[in-house]
Structure 1
Amino acid sequence: MSQFKLSARKSLWVGALAVLLLVIVSGCSGSNNDPAPNATAQPGTSQGTDENSKTDETATGGTFVYGRPASVTSFDLHNQITSNNAFAIDKVFEPLVAFDNKGEIVDWLAKSHNISDDGLTYTFVLRDGLKFSNGTDVTAEDAVFSLERHLKVGGPLAISAKVDTVKATDSHTLVITLKEPYTPFISELSNFSNGIVPNNFGGVTEEEFFKKPIGTGPFVVEQWDPAGDVTFTKNTHYWQEGKQSVDKLVYKLIEDDSQAINQLKAGEVDAIESLALQNADEIKNGADTTVVTNGSWVTEQLFFNTLDKHFSDVHVRRALALALDRDGLTKALTFGYAQTANSLLPTTIPYNSNDTLKALNFDVNAAKAELAKSAFLDGFTTKLLVASGNSTRAQEAQIIQAAGKQIGINIEIESIELATFRERFFAYDFAAMLNSGQADSPEANSIIAFQTDPDGFSKSYWTHYTNDEVTKLLYKGQQTPDGDGRAEIYSKLLQTLADEVPYIPLYYPDILIGVRSSVDGIVVLPNGSVRFEDVRIQK
């Protein structure tokens, strides 16, 4: 099952396309991530721990095999967004700042950064001794080239800030000036798409470079089959001394969920990505397996095409929201591994307002009264678009279908294969659909912009939802400094979305990774990626 990430703002795809089909699963686990690095500690020094593991009995070296449901098709960080590629790109390229497993922004390739009081000037000082994987020094000119190439290409995770200049004032100092304040900028710079590549691609063509990429990350591409596996070797010039406990990291393609489970149990792989919800307890309680989890930046949602004759009516959307028991749906389908959603924003993202927002909670009588205010008081027949191959989504669709039936809305479930599903909603060829939104950085704007900007890449996540007041609040939130003022802006915006429901937030799943009990030190990030720098396997 291929996964997509959601992306943020005007020219993105997200989760971007963000998105798209991220069926990230949730889970409670016997293994959690330790506190991640902060601004004063060396990044990457934290590691997840398993309740059964014993760090003093683990070994360095060897090969770590990670089962993944989709192959890596490109390492071009500026032209990619889907998680199959993103979570390989971030092993090779690194940004100036990054986010830790708690979603906090920390200095990464930059040893420090400063933002001017007016929010227009960003100054980054690179760490001493930084080298690319080929042994050449990393300079501020490399950062200039990388960011300017991203600005030129745009791509699905384009830099949304209005950048005036990007300059190197010396070999270690980079200064970025903006034309106007853009508060999400520092957070968006932590995206994998803002990784640093060598100036002028090290003298080779773009095509040559991305076939054998050179970066500052902990791993280097050794072998790569775009239709199969990727083998990484450790970067011997990595700037974090003592990292890369394993010699090799293999991304093994396992497209079938059952096969992935079987290979994990048999020890043929050390961990698997995208563990299905229904397998969570089985793996958690297995003799030789467990799970590692983290809170995610994902919101599972029911989306409405507001160009559709039925769902253009706000009373219809409100009626279905009132008819749907979100608490019941969440409990039934997530096995206690997710939280019911009231707000568009996951609780792991600042300004989510999930606990204060007045959502349209389950009330069948109120739902019937709301539908009576619509142009379809006698009900109607519509279709719900769902990608096949996902049992959780299939069950979600059935619960939504039953909710509609009790107020006179006959919902026909249209389950189609993934590629066609994407084509359909990209073309607005749907009435309603099930999908998820995911932030790419720990920023409210990362989801809000993608799902509310009618002029953006996705036209409010293909819902075509347009509300002038919401649009004004969106841009105001982007230019307002963090604090109470920004919180008030997003509170108003999110309440409007809850009232007009262009999409119904269903639940916030955690990220769930299946691992062998012998594994120690795996760190799961809230965007679904994993850091392997500290991974060790018990002897």
Structure 2
Amino acid sequence: MSRFKALTGKGFGWAVPAVLVFAVLAGCSGGGGGSTAQTGTDSSTGTQATTSGNETAATEPAEGGTFTYARPAAVTSFDLHNEITANNAFAIDKVFEPLVSFDKDGNIVDWLAQSHEVSADGLTYTFVLKDGLKFSDGTDVTAKDAAFSLERHLKVGGPLEISAKVDKVTAQDDHTLVVTLQEPYTPFLSEMSNFSNGIIPADFGGKTEEEFFKKPVGTGPFAVESWDPTGDVTFVKNEHYWQEGKPYLDKLVYKLVQDDSQALNQLKAGEVDGIESLALQNAEELKNGDGTGVITNGSWVTEQLFFNTLDEHFSDEHVRRALALAIDREGLTNALTFGYAQAANSLLPTTIPYNSNDIIKPLNFNLDEAKKELAQSKFPTGFSSTLLIASGNDTRAQEAQIIQAAAQSIGIELKIESVELASFRERFFAYDFSAMLNSGQADSPEANSIIAFQTDPDGFSKSYWTHYTNDEVTKLLHEGQTAADGDGRQKIYTDLLQILADDVPYIPLYYPDVLKGVRSSVEGLVALPNGSLRFEDVRIAQ
């Protein structure tokens, strides 16, 4: 399943599902960080690139200290099985960790598991836990805890439910967990890397669910010290973390800064060490700034224009196709992203297998064809409607204006309605919109992660709150979930993505890179392709 970012990060400045887009979130540690010279790698390869500004001679990074991270939305819950938005997901993954995770290049790696094995028939998954694992309260982690965590997830379901048909979950001994499926489900291992499959203590460590998630206990590099659901979160170092000597930081503070410009100014002034929501137009300023830098990576995010297919105007396929033909995606991408994004043809980002971006035939910019398409609709002379966006994001505001002008060119008047982020989420959760700008994000390096979230009319999000339903798409969705990896699965997804390109329940606009602003004194920070960060290797030069 995918998470919607909804303007945090996902991937909002960008937001999530919560792996929402959006979106949805874990990863591996790695090196990097601000050196005295500018460094970088091609983000299209999915590797980390860090560029620092005009700093003075480097000093040795020290252990300890506090990293303050400015984020546009508060953490409202740590319940990993009931959350999906990035504001919560990227806090949950600091406290809870899964058996397998993914690294900065999107490769599945063993995490709390020392090893894993999949049976030849694809029905049995055996995970062997690392020795010496402990929760942040010092108690041992066993396979019983892992079994309880997965069973609770299966019971709750939630926005990132386990879609595989699980027959049973068995703790064979303290170190061995066996999961048996009723039928093969190809995305299963990848989905196990989602933040929502983190391990929690069996029976919530003897607490009620409510008590436990107010002061959660996990295996992650940090534990919650204090938390204001309307403000900041302070994490403290997990003294029992399984990666010996890590994290290097004593504390990690998530500071609520709802306005992108304020966050940028606080970073430049040294009031915060990093910012989550970095507008693309500000990246070069920080990259070349005094004491600031940028961390970037290829992302699993697709920026999109979404249509509510229950709306009288956007239920008409010809209207949606007309708008797709009226929007110059290449021009929009070049104008807004400053080289930090690629124009999108397909729903799937190019960093996800089976993306078919070079194969799909999209409805590319052609005003004459756009007008012909609108003429075939129920509204041949045009109409008036509303485009919903979340406030506080300069890039999205400019994006909305470009789309508004494109719509006007074929006789469609789109009024831009900008609302505060929380209201924005409430509105589209309730289908209270005609069209909106948001991001779709995969939570794991698997095509099904974003496709299922955006095409399943019976799923949690009802095709990402578009209510789009196409029987052939639903059929191909389920075929892709059981098909073995290879050419056959590629064809399934190519066919599915072409139908989406023709029906356009949403218009993929571009694939933005992950961008995070940092102080040049920060070293070891790693950006993951889902928009989250790994903090366990972070040191701050004194």
Q: Return the TM-score normalized by structure 1.
A: 0.90
Tell me, in whole angstroms, the C-alpha distance in 1 between the residues paired with 2:382 and 2:449: 36
Does the Cα contact within 8 Å between 1:5 and 1:18 map onto a contact in 2? no
1:499 and 2:502 correspond: yes
1:530 to 530, 533, 539: 533
Correspondent of 1:276 among 279, 292, 311:
279
- Equivalences for residues 86-165 of structure 1 within 5 A: 86-165=89-168
Counterpart residue identity of residue 19, structure 1: V
What is the identity, as a one-letter code, of the residue corresponding to 2:519? Answer: R
User: Taking structure 1 as reference, are residues 503 and 16 closer, same or farther at Cα in structure 2, changes over 3 Å only?
Assistant: farther
SS at match of 2:172: strand
Matches within 5 A, 1:431-450: 431-450=434-453
- Do the aligned residues in 2 keep the contact of 1:48 with 1:521 (CA within 8 Å)? no
Amino acid across the alignment from 1:402 = A
Larger deviation, residues 468-477 vs 458-467: 458-467
Match of 2:290 among 287, 291, 307: 287
Task: Tell me the amino acid that sits aligned with residue 60 of structure 1.
Answer: E
The superposition leaves residues 392-423 of structure 1 with CA deviations (integer Å, 9 ceiling, x where unpaired) of 22222221122122222232323333333333
Contact preservation (8 Å) 1:5, 1:81: no
Q: What per-residue deviation string (whole Å, max 9, x for no partner) do you get for residues 292-337 of structure 1? A: 0111111111111222232222222112111110111111111221
2:374 is equivalent to residue 371 of structure 1: yes
Output the CA distance in 2 between the equivalents of 1:347 and 1:481: 20
State the SS of the aligned residue for 1:475.
helix
Per-residue CA distance 1:461-480 (angstroms, 9 max, x = gap): 12121111111000000111
Structure 1 gaps, min length 5: 8-13, 23-28, 36-45
1:366 alignment partner AA: E
Distance 1:361 1:92 in 2: 44
The alignment status of 1:384 with 2:382, answered yes or no, reads: no
Name the amino acid aligned to 2:290: A
- Counterpart Cα distance in 2 of 1:184 and 1:342: 23
Q: Percent identity?
A: 75
Matched, 1:85 2:88: yes
Query: Which of 175, 180, 184 is the equivalent residue of 1:177?
Result: 180
| CA RMSD, Structure 1 to Structure 2 (Å) | 2.5
Q: CA deviation at 1:279?
A: 1.8
* TM-aligned CA deviation for residue 56 of structure 1: 7.9
Report the counterpart of residue 476 of structure 1 in structure 2.
Answer: 479
User: Partner of 1:197 in structure 2?
Assistant: 200
State the partner residue of 1:211. 214
CA separation of 1:430 and 1:229: change in aligned 2, threshold 3 A: closer
Paired with 2:42 and 2:511, the residues of 1 have a C-alpha distance of 21
Candidates 228, 234, 237, aligned match of 2:237 = 234
- Alpha-carbon distance in 2 for matches of 1:202, 1:479: 36
Structure 1 residues 144 and 34: alpha-carbon distance in aligned structure 2, compared to 1, 3 A threshold: farther
- Paired position in structure 2 for 1:41: none
Paired residue for 1:407, among 407, 410, 416? 410
State how far apart, in whole Å, the 2-side matches of 1:2 and 1:358 are. Answer: 27
Deviations 1:114-170 (A, max 9, x none): 111221111100111111122222111010111111111222211111111000111
Structure 1 residue 57 corresponds to structure 2 residue 60: yes
One-letter amino acid of the counterpart of residue 521, structure 1: G
> 1:15 matched to which residue of 2?
17
Structure 2 distance, partners of 1:122, 1:252, is 40
The superposition leaves residues 408-443 of structure 1 with CA deviations (integer Å, 9 ceiling, x where unpaired) of 223232333333333332332332221111111111
Superposed CA deviations along residues 46-101 of structure 1, whole A, max 9, x for unmatched, are: 98755679988222222222222222222221122222221111111110000111
1:476-519 residue CA offsets vs partner (Å, 9 max, x unmatched): 00111111111110000001111111111111111111111111
5+ residue gaps in structure 2? 25-33
Superposed displacement of residue 3, structure 1: 4.0
Provide the rounded CA distance (Å) in 1 between the counterparts of 2:374 and 2:464: 25
**Cα–Cα, structure 1 residues 96 and 316, in superposed 2: closer, same or farther, change >3 Å?**
same
Match status 1:467 vs 2:470: yes
SS in 2 for 1:170: coil
> In the alignment, is the contact (CA less than 8 A) between 1:16 and 1:450 conserved in 2?
no
- Secondary structure at the aligned position of 1:413 is classed as strand
Give distance in 2, aligned partners of 1:244 and 1:34.
Answer: 28
Divergent runs of 4+, >6 A: 52-56
Q: Separation in 1 of the partners of 2:417 and 2:393?
A: 13
Q: How many residues align?
A: 517
Residue identity in the other structure for 1:260? A
Structure 1 match to 2:329 = 326
After superposition, the Cα gap between the structure-2 partners of 1:57 and 1:5, relative to the gap in structure 1 and judged at 3 Å, is closer
Q: Is this contact kept in 2: 1:5–1:15, CA < 8 A?
A: no
- AA aligned to 1:106 is V
Contact 1:167 1:176 in 2 (8 A): yes
The answer to whether the Cα contact below 8 Å between 1:3 and 1:21 also exists between their aligned partners in 2 is no
* CA distance in structure 1 between the partners assigned to 2:338 and 2:50 by the alignment: 23
Contact 1:5–1:21 (Cα < 8 Å) also in 2: no
Q: Residue 91 of structure 2 aligns to which amino acid in structure 1?
A: A
- What TM-score results when the alignment is normalised by the length of structure 2? 0.90
| 179-188 vs 251-260, greater mean Cα deviation | 251-260
CA drift of 1:5 comes to 7.9
Question: Partners of 1:17 and 1:127 in 2: how far apart?
Answer: 26
The code of the aligned residue for 1:486 comes to R
Matching of residue 394 in structure 1 with residue 359 in structure 2: no
Distance 2:6 2:496 in 1: 32
Q: Do 1:66 and 1:270's aligned partners in 2 also have CA atoms closer than 8 Å?
A: yes
